[in-house]
């Protein structure tokens, strides 16, 4: 039983990382109708920046905060410079642009920091706490906490601020937004900036366990895709629920089902992805897509 709880908590922690990145994907999808294949690489890049800051002597939380600011600026800049010129082009063009970004950022990361694996410290001590008789990892709780706090902060932003309202309006109906005077372009950049922040959080929480190298977030991106699709690609709640569910599910499957083991976790997640796409494309909480004639 204790083992089960540990697996669940650990699954929730991994799931929180998936959820953060999945939420970033959903954010961009709702704002700009784009599936950003480079979300993982943007997160990796941000994590490397955090690493550099700490390497130069900055302590963890200041580096964390500064990285979030830089990630925000970077994300917004990418939207303005790379995505804006192709905003109105057919879907395949935009998909390829984000793939180009993926390739570019992956190469840039390797170029600037080298491909050797680097260690990344966790801000949480490597201990366990006794929760009702079960030894729970502090790092897991910390990861879960940070991710959920970020998600909560974002939710509050959208729910209670005027800027958040405007962004929700833009996501719902960009044309009408223009007609009431909203500078839609800047709102889209804002969306990409916030998504980049979410990605940076996911990256920094993942790095201590996955170790920092240019391909660190590629696999996490796939889990995040699976989570986002499971939850519904246009549902923020779905991204969070999907991420947590996927994390726990994979952990339990990996621990208790021999056939899956630790090697087939990725294909299992992909099976989930494919199953959802084929059986219920709108996921758990998303809206059915109407085929435009």
Partner 1 sequence: MRAPAPSTILKFASFGAAVVVIALLPRFMGEFRLSQFTFLALYFIALLGLNILTGYNGQISLGHGAFMGIGAYVSALLILGRPGLALYQLDPPGWIPLGDGMTPVYTIPIAGMVTGIVGVLFGIPALRLAGVSLALATFAMAVALPTVAKRFDSVTGGGGGLSITLPETPFGWDISTRHWLYYEAWAIAGILFVAAWVMVRGRLGRAWRSIRDGEVAAVSSGVNPALYKTLAFGVSSFYAGVAGALLVIEVSFVNPDTFPVSLSILLLASAVIGGLGALSGVIFGALVLEFLPVYAQNPPLLPFDFSNQAPAVVFGAGLILIMILLPGGFAGLLRKLGGVFNGVLRRLTEGGRPMSVSSTRRNG
Partner 2 sequence: MPLLELQDVLARYGPIRALHGVSLTVDEGEVVAILGANGAGKTTTLRAICGMVRTAGEITFAGRTIARRSPEGIARLGIAHVPEGRGLFTELSVWENLRMGAVVRGGQKALRQDAERVLGYFPWMEKRRDQQAGTLSGGEQQMLALVRGLVSRPRLLLLDEPSLGLAPTIVRELFAIVQRLNDEDGLTVLVVEQNATIALETASRAYVLEVGKVAVSGESAELQRHEGVRKSYLGY
Return residues touching partner 1 (CB under 8 A). Answer: 35, 37, 82, 85-86, 89, 91-93, 95-97, 99-111, 115, 218-219, 222, 225-226, 229, 263-264, 266-267, 270, 273-274, 277-278, 281, 291, 293
Instruction: With contacts defined by CB under 8 A, name the span among 13-21, 104-112, 167-175, 276-284 that binds partner 2.
Output: 167-175
Nearer Cβ to partner 1 (8/25)? 25
Partner from partner 1, partner 2, none binding residue 69, C-beta < 5-8 Å depending on class:
none
How many residues line the site for partner 2 (CB under 8 A)? Answer: 17
**Pairwise CA distance, residues 238 & 233, whole Å:** 8
Report, in Å, the least distance between residue 153 CB and partner 1: 28
Vertex 243, ends 149 and 283: CA angle to 5°?
Answer: 125
Residue 181 interacts with partner 2 (CB under 8 A)?
Answer: yes
CB-hemisphere CA count at 13 Å for 109? 30
Q: Is position 182 an interface residue for partner 2 (rule: CB under 8 A)?
A: yes
Burial code (b: 16+ CB inside 10 Å, e: under 16) for 8-17 equals bbbbbbbbbb
Least distance to partner 1 from the beta carbon of 114, Å? 8
Q: Strand, helix or coil at 265?
A: helix
**Helical H segments across the chain, by residue range:** 2-32, 39-55, 60-78, 91-113, 138-160, 162-172, 174-179, 184-210, 216-231, 236-256, 265-279
Give the one entry of partner 2, partner 1, none that residue 3 binds, where binding means its C-beta sits below a cut-off of 5 to 8 angstroms depending on kind.
Answer: none
Find which of partner 2, partner 1, none residue 62 binds, CB within 5 to 8 Å per kind. Answer: none
Select from partner 2, partner 1, none the partner in contact with residue 2, using the beta carbon and a kind-dependent cut-off of 5 to 8 Å. Answer: none
CA 230, 235, 240, 244: dihedral to nearest 10 degrees? -10
Of the candidates 162, 259, 279, 291, which one interacts with partner 2 according to CB under 8 A?
162
Choose the stretch contacting partner 2; rule: CB under 8 A; options: 82-90, 168-176, 196-204, 242-250.
168-176
Neighbouring C-beta atoms of residue 183, cutoff 10 Å: 12
Which one, 154 or 233, has the nearer CB to partner 1?
233
Q: Which does 168 bind (CB under 5 to 8 A by kind): partner 1, partner 2, none?
A: partner 2
Using alpha carbons only, give the angle 99, 103, 108 rounded to the nearest 5 degrees: 140
Nearest distance from residue 228's CB to partner 2, in Å? Answer: 19
Regarding 168 and contact with partner 2 (CB under 8 A), the answer is yes
Alpha-carbon distance 145 to 67, whole Å? Answer: 18
Quick check: 253 and 265 in contact, CB under 8 A? yes
For residues 8 and 248, the answer to whether their CB atoms sit within 8 Å is: yes
Residue ranges that bind partner 2, judged by CB under 8 A? 162, 165-166, 168-169, 172-173, 175-184
């Amino acid at each position: 039983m204790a083992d089960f709880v540990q697996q669940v908590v650990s699954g929730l922690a991994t799931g929180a990382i998936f959820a953060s990145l999945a939420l970033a994907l959903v954010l961009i999808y709702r704002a700009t109708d784009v599936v950003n294949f480079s979300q993982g690489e943007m997160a990796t890049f941000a994590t490397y920046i955090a690493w550099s800051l700490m390497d130069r002597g900055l302590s963890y939380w200041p580096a964390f905060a500064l990285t979030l600011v830089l990630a925000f600026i970077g994300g917004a800049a990418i939207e303005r410079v790379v995505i804006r010129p192709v905003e109105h082009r057919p879907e395949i063009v935009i998909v390829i642009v984000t793939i180009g970004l993926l390739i570019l950022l992956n190469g840039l990361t390797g170029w600037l920091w080298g491909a050797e694996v680097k260690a990344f410290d966790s801000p949480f001590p490597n201990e366990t706490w006794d929760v009702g008789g079960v030894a729970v990892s502090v790092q897991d709780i910390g990861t879960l906490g940070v991710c959920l706090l970020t998600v909560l902060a974002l939710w509050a932003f959208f729910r209670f601020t005027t800027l958040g309202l405007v962004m929700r309006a833009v996501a719902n109906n960009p044309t009408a937004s223009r007609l009431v005077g909203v500078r839609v372009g800047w709102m889209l950049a804002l969306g990409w900036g916030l998504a980049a922040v979410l990605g940076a959080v996911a990256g920094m929480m993942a790095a201590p366990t996955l170790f920092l190298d240019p391909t660190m977030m590629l696999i996490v991106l796939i889990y995040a895709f699976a989570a986002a699709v499971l939850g519904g690609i246009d549902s923020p709640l779905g991204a969070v629920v999907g991420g947590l569910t996927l994390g726990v599910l994979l952990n339990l499957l990996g621990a208790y089902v021999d056939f899956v083991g630790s090697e087939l976790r990725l294909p299992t997640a992909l099976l989930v992805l494919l199953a959802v796409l084929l059986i219920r494309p709108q996921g758990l909480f998303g809206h059915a897509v109407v085929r435009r004639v």
